[in-house]
Amino acid sequence: MTRWTTAALLTALALTGLTACSDDDTPSSVASKVASAASRAGDTVASATAEAGRRFDDIKNGVDAKDAVRLGRPVTASDGRTTVGVTAANSAAGAKSFAVQVDFTDGSGKLLDAVVVTVPDVPAGSTGKGTARSTHRLSGDVRAKVSRAVRY
């Protein structure tokens, strides 16, 4: 088995939860399983991104607040989902809420998941905290970044 076939097979196993290969597996059947797994993974990311967009579309009179948001270090929980702390600083004169889109990426920057976390009712001049949690299991070198944030 070549390095690429091994990598593809491991990726397919990781993405689809397969636990064993039969003697009937051929290179084309393995490739088909990999393509199917990749398609499902792409669908999951597309669905998460679309949901994030809908959440932001519902916010009226929001102000860009990306610079007011900081993320902690991503941590993988025992269930395989990745979480990251979100801190939003409110510089407005009154209490405000924040909607923050957190993108989970791999080490090369490829989007693995996108979630929106709300940090509600942050008092003027204070910070509020929340936690972003991936919608599914993520593995490998998972990183988190603020894709967009709105104060409203």
Looking at residue 60, its pLDDT comes to: 84
Phi-psi region of 125 (alpha: psi -120 to 50; beta: other; left: phi over 0): left
The pair of structure tokens assigned to 24 is 């009937």
Comparing 48 with 93, the larger pLDDT belongs to 93
pLDDT tens figures, 76-119: 999 999 999 999 999 999 999 999 999 999 999 999 999 999 99
* Cα 34 from Cα 114, distance rounded (Å): 22
Looking at residue 45, its pLDDT comes to: 63
Comparing 93 with 11, the larger pLDDT belongs to 93
The Cβ-side half-sphere exposure at 13, using a 13 Å CA radius, reads 10
Looking at residue 58, its pLDDT comes to: 80
Looking at residue 145, its pLDDT comes to: 97
Q: Which amino acid is at 23?
A: D
H or E element that contains 68: none
The Cβ-side half-sphere exposure at 41, using a 13 Å CA radius, reads 20
DSSP labels, 72-131? ---EE-TTSEEEEEEEEE--SSS-EEEEEEEEEE-TT--EEEEEEEEEEEEPTT-EEEEE
3-state secondary structure of 6: helix
Looking at residue 33, its pLDDT comes to: 39
The Cβ-side half-sphere exposure at 3, using a 13 Å CA radius, reads 0
3-state secondary structure of 70: strand
